[in-house]
Amino acid sequence: MDNRNIILIGFMGSGKTTLGKWLANAWGTEFCDTDERIERKEGRTIQTIFQEEGEAYFRALETKTLQELLAEGTRAVISVGGGLPVKQENRELLCRLGICVYLRTTKQELMRRLENDSTRPLLAGGQLAQKIDRLMAERKEIYETAADIILDTDGMQPADMQYALEGFIKQHVRAAE
Ligand code: S3P
């Protein structure tokens, strides 16, 4: 599709992994998920890493993962953890890695997708709506400014998003030339 990485950013539950796998399959490129890569390297789940080492340790692993992807010269569709773009250093690395696509999702849709989730430590322990509100207030602008492309995902099927994205990427590439 493009000779740079396509990076999917957005809140937990915005569908980064699902769309990432779909796009990689459609475009015949590799798919990489930073959370999966961290879990594989650490041999434990994100939840266990948070429990045993704390969030700061996990955040350092996210930065290390981006540095490794850059060094490896990966050409892929990459989905990154929802909190990864919060760190300025990571946003700089994302910029160098490729085109950032923000999957923007309404709170209502996020609630629906996350209400039965038990894998995300930052949402554990109830009061999901308040937790989404608090994190979204911190992150909304960060996602929007880190993004080269914003895709509103509510009601969209992967094929619709692929189509929209291909149009955006063509425009983006032309604008950058
Ligand atoms: C996090 C999002 C998660 C995972 C971790 C922290 C966050 O990834 O990296 O639980 O801070 O938003 P997903 O966005 O893939 O759920």
Does residue 9 contact residue 100 with C-beta atoms inside 8 Å? yes
Q: Which two tokens stand for residue 15?
A: 């569908």
Q: What share of the chain is helix, strand, coil (3-state, %, to 5)?
A: 60, 15, 25
Query: What's the mean pLDDT in 7-31?
Result: 97
Contact 83 CB / ligand 1 (< 6 Å): yes
Tell me how far the alpha carbon of residue 159 lies from the centroid of ligand 1, in angstroms.
24
Average per-residue pLDDT for the chain: 95
**If we measure between CA atoms, which residue out of 169, 150, 27, 24 comes closest to residue 98?**
169
> SS3 string of 51-70?
HHHCHHHHHHHHHHHHHHHH
Residue 77, classed as helix, strand or coil, is: strand
Beta-bridge partners for 79: 8, 33
Residue 1, classed as helix, strand or coil, is: coil
End-to-end CA distance of the chain: 16
Please write the tens of the pLDDT for every residue from 124-138: 998 999 999 999 999
pTM: 0.96
Tell me how far the alpha carbon of residue 174 lies from the centroid of ligand 1, in angstroms.
32
Percent of the chain with pLDDT over 70: 98
Please write the tens of the pLDDT for every residue from 91-120: 999 999 999 999 999 999 999 999 998 899
Q: Where does residue 85 rank: exposed (0-12), middle (13-18), buried (19+ CB within 10 A)?
A: buried
pLDDT score for 171: 84
- Tell me which residue has its CA closest to atom 11 in ligand 1: 83
Beta-bridge partners for 151: 103
Q: Which amino acid is at 112?
A: R
* Residue 24 region by backbone torsions, left for phi larger than 0, else alpha for psi between -120 and 50, else beta: alpha
Beta-bridge partners for 98: 5
Tell me how far the alpha carbon of residue 86 lies from the centroid of ligand 1, in angstroms.
11
